[in-house]
Structure 1
Amino acid sequence: MLKKLHVDSATLKKFLVVCISSEFIYYVYAIRNTLYTPYREMLGLSNTQLGMVLTIMGWVAFFGGIPSAWVLNRFSARKLQAINLSLSGLTCFYMISGKVTYAGMLVVGVIWGFTLEAFYWGAVTKSVRCMFADDRQGIAFGSMEMTRGLTNVIENMIFVSVFAWMGETLFGMRVIMGIVGILLILMAVGVWVLLPEEEYLHSVTNAGKNKESLKGAIACLKIPQLWLAGFMGMGVYAVYIGTSYFQPFLEDIFSVPTILVSIFAIVSTSYVRMFAGPVSGVIGNKVFKSTAYWMRILFAVGVLMLVGIVASPKTAGMVWPVTILLVVLQIVVFMLRGVYYAPIGESGIPREVSGSAMAIAILLIQSPMCWAYVVYAALIDRYNSTITGYKWMFIVMACLYGIGFIASSILIAVIKKRGLKVNVAVKAEDKKPSSQTD
């Protein structure tokens, strides 16, 4: 799959460094996808409290995304990734200190809002977008999802094995989080050493670069494809957040043992993710010639899967049929995740404003972090982890995919009317080095 990117070994090395480190950083809270209950118990939080921590992270990420439209243009992806990897790693040591409080975790949620989202993820997508040609964006982001999925498989296999080996205890959970913290700091060093200090701005002074970055951010606001892609991604991301509750759903409704649910989570996320992303990228680029067409089909399939889950009887004999529906839904989720940034790169946005473009899209795409965690968790807690709460959760997810379907249909109409390539107009005088002094 990586051969389809047609890049040299140096670029491939940078690509792998970015992808692998960008997977490890999210393990500080994404580990709950495989070890939800022990992770929550280690922190001493209820479902709603943990949901609120992640919601706080989402709010900070959302509002932090506004200045990030300037920050991501102004500063190199290398600096932003290295700094945020280090800070995220340090939060792990608080989580294993044994002195965690709800208030303290809310502060951690604020930190994560900046270090995992507002000033980090945009730097990652900017790096990938700028490494490859516009007509290979679907394959590039699909390959990124494959690489990150493989990384997730390896880390889950290792850490779940460590957890089982240590007797499935909270001490084992703390050991795992301590290892994650150390690895993140080491990866920050690796990113700093291996990634180049890329510079796409034309100005030579700090004042000139500040002004140029602001102009680029404003110019990106005028691109309709950017906003539509953002709304499509919003539906994808909101449902992706909901998949973290598939594990407690199987435990609470079908009484599936925790260790078996963890295996389900690994298979239905990590393994599916490895193949769904790149395959989706190839289909979007090579078959449909536009990922918007392909995403519309996936949204429709996702809605059907969610309706099937809601409508199916929740009896012991239905555990396998429902599990299969969940796996198919995971395939759809990761196929969409593999390409939901591709329409941005395919619209021919210049590299010098790609940071702003990604920041604006991410602001919309990740907006469900402001509410989805706490809404899903509150529904589950309100109905005492019974089927009613989970049904409402799946209904909300179906509506969100419906929004994605509508947005993709509008984007297709815009593409037909205006053509696929819509470049940000950058005036010649704006490209000249600024004569201002610092």
Structure 2
Amino acid sequence: MTTANRAKWLRFLVLILGGGTIYKLANVKDAFYVPLQEVMGLSHTQIGTLLSVNSIVATALFVLGGMLADRFGTRKLIPLGLIGAGLLGLYMATFPGFGGMLVVFALLAVCADCLYWPALLKAVRNLGSDDEQGRMFGFLEGGRGVVDTVVAFSALGVFVVAGSGALGLKSAILFYAIIDIVAGIAAWFLLNSAAEKRAEAEPVGLSGLIEAMRVPAIWLVSLNVFMVYTVYCGLTYFIPYLKEMYQLPVALVGAYGIINQYFLKVLGGPAGGYMADKSFRSASRYIKWAFLALPPVMVLILGLPTGAAYIYPAMAAMLSFAFIVFSMRGVFWAPMSEIGIPSRITGSAFGLGCLIGYAPGMFAYMVYGAILDRFPGQQGYTYVFALMSVLAVIGSLVAGRLNRIIGGPDAKAAVPA
């Protein structure tokens, strides 16, 4: 491996480290929900409010984040986002009241979703060549899964060693904060590449966003992400389905959740990247056929008899469905390279894409949940899973149209001169 390649992959590892840690503070409830209630005195409603505020601010600032990535460069914004999140974690560890936590969660969205995430996507896109975008984004997703798992379990270990009380929670939050700060400092020193210097040499602002909005293919990429993410949100309801319809034991519910949330991310991202680059030679083409693979798997899921005797076949079928979805998540940003977005407006393109693509997080869970509340039992799950299949078919049409624009006679019209 050449020196240039070693430097490239070292920078990529720093990006993975930051991507796997910057959201831990905003999602501290994942491992420490009960301690947040017992130590900080937060109610269910207050914790829900914190998460809602974080999501609202994040959604509102995605586009601004993309513009900032184009205007100031990723080498400045990535360390700023990470170190800023770390400093907020230091303040969170003082156990401020609910009002202080509201400010923290709002500012965490600024650091993670405005300053960091669009800049991260731009940095990854610029780090790899056009023929390895699927692998780069796939390994980013898989690497984030590994880091996410290691950091989460390490924080849990710190919590236990420190006594599992107030000191334990404080220590775990400080652990998250220090990891963010260390990752930010490392990013500052290691992301100063020649490509980054060229990107900073031609900064753009609002003009970059306007230029990105005029590219039809960007809207298709964004809609493609939107469809994948809407189906992804439905994976949440496999867990209660297994518990209600197959009497899944509590211990297995936890095991399935860990595999579904972490292990499949680790495997699915790289697998999707490899398939997109090597087998399909296009991320958009891979996503099209992956979408079409989902309805038959769902037919198998709904066709299996219910009851404890069929737990393992049901789990295998659902994990297969989820694996395909995670493989799509790993590469759904790779088409940004396929449509030929100029480097100078990559941040604006990703910011616009994030605004549209991640929008299902604001309503999909409510829609799926309302269906299950309106139609309890097997009927409700059948409706939800059927809806996911219909969305997959629609997603295949979107991905197919995107692929035709990329590879067909309309390709030159995808990006304005």
Question: Same-fold call, TM > 0.5?
Answer: yes
1:175 and 1:263 mapped to 2: Cα distance?
26
Assess, with a 3 A threshold, how the Cα gap between structure 1 residues 160 and 75 changes in structure 2: closer, same or farther: same
Cα shift readout 1:238-286 (whole Å, capped 9, x = no counterpart):
333444565566567645335x444333333333222322222122122
Assess, with a 3 A threshold, how the Cα gap between structure 1 residues 423 and 153 changes in structure 2: closer, same or farther: same
2:290 and 2:224 mapped to 1: Cα distance?
11
Assess, with a 3 A threshold, how the Cα gap between structure 1 residues 249 and 199 changes in structure 2: closer, same or farther: farther
Contact 2:216 2:414 in 1 (8 A): no
Structure 1 stretch displaced more, 286-295 or 36-45: 36-45
- Given candidates 333, 345, 362, the residue that maps to 1:370 is 362
Aligned to 2:250: 257
Cα shift readout 1:107-162 (whole Å, capped 9, x = no counterpart):
44433332222332110010011112112211211122232222233234434555
Structure 1 stretch displaced more, 342-351 or 174-183: 174-183
1:63 and 1:362 mapped to 2: Cα distance?
10
1:142 and 1:261 mapped to 2: Cα distance?
27
Q: Supply the RMSD in Å over aligned alpha carbons.
A: 3.8
Contact 1:68 1:119 in 2 (8 A): yes
1:389 and 1:51 mapped to 2: Cα distance?
25
User: RCO (CA 8 Å, sep 6+): is it higher in 1 or 2?
Assistant: 1
- Given candidates 15, 23, 26, the residue that maps to 2:12 is 15
1:39-438 correspondence to structure 2 within 5 Å: 44-46=42-44, 53-92=50-89, 101=98, 106-159=102-155, 175-196=171-192, 198-200=196-198, 209=203, 212-243=204-235, 254=247, 256-257=249-250, 260-306=252-298, 308-309=300-301, 312=304, 314-375=306-367, 394=385, 397-418=388-409, 424-425=415-416
Contact 1:58 1:367 in 2 (8 A): no
Cα shift readout 1:278-315 (whole Å, capped 9, x = no counterpart):
22212212222222121012112234444554565553
Assess, with a 3 A threshold, how the Cα gap between structure 1 residues 185 and 252 changes in structure 2: closer, same or farther: farther
Cα shift readout 1:203-229 (whole Å, capped 9, x = no counterpart):
68xxxx4xx433332222222221111
Match of 1:27, SS state, is coil
Give the partner amino acid of 1:86.
Answer: I
Assess, with a 3 A threshold, how the Cα gap between structure 1 residues 119 and 374 changes in structure 2: closer, same or farther: farther
Contact 1:73 1:353 in 2 (8 A): yes
Give the partner amino acid of 2:224.
Answer: M
Match of 1:335, SS state, is helix
Shift of 1:344: 0.7
1:227 and 1:392 mapped to 2: Cα distance?
29
Q: TM-score, length-normalised on structure 2?
A: 0.82
Shift of 1:79: 1.9
Shift of 1:406: 2.5
1:59 and 1:276 mapped to 2: Cα distance?
28
Shift of 1:345: 0.9
Cα shift readout 1:383-438 (whole Å, capped 9, x = no counterpart):
79977776665455444434422311221332343365767456xxxxxxxxxxxx
Cα shift readout 1:63-117 (whole Å, capped 9, x = no counterpart):
212323421210121221122223333444566555654x665544433332222
Contact 1:57 1:369 in 2 (8 A): no
Provide the identity percentage. 28
Assess, with a 3 A threshold, how the Cα gap between structure 1 residues 273 and 168 changes in structure 2: closer, same or farther: same
Contact 2:228 2:329 in 1 (8 A): yes
Match of 1:341, SS state, is coil
Cα shift readout 1:7-55 (whole Å, capped 9, x = no counterpart):
611111111101111111122345666x486477567443x76555444
1:168 and 1:277 mapped to 2: Cα distance?
34
Contact 2:215 2:416 in 1 (8 A): no
Structure 1 stretch displaced more, 287-296 or 6-15: 6-15
Contact 1:247 1:262 in 2 (8 A): no
Assess, with a 3 A threshold, how the Cα gap between structure 1 residues 355 and 405 changes in structure 2: closer, same or farther: same
1:49 and 1:394 mapped to 2: Cα distance?
31
Question: How many equivalent pairs are there?
Answer: 412
Assess, with a 3 A threshold, how the Cα gap between structure 1 residues 40 and 98 changes in structure 2: closer, same or farther: closer
Assess, with a 3 A threshold, how the Cα gap between structure 1 residues 358 and 90 changes in structure 2: closer, same or farther: same
Shift of 1:342: 0.9
Contact 2:275 2:286 in 1 (8 A): yes
Shift of 1:327: 1.5
Shift of 1:343: 0.7
Give the partner amino acid of 2:145.
Answer: G
Match of 2:77, SS state, is helix
Match of 1:289, SS state, is coil
Match of 1:21, SS state, is helix
Assess, with a 3 A threshold, how the Cα gap between structure 1 residues 99 and 271 changes in structure 2: closer, same or farther: same
Structure 1 stretch displaced more, 267-276 or 219-228: 267-276
Match of 2:205, SS state, is helix
Aligned to 1:436: none
**What residue ranges of structure 1 are gaps of 5+ in the alignment?**
427-438
Cα shift readout 1:346-392 (whole Å, capped 9, x = no counterpart):
22222122112222222221112332355556667x57997777666
**What residue ranges of structure 2 are gaps of 5+ in the alignment?**
none
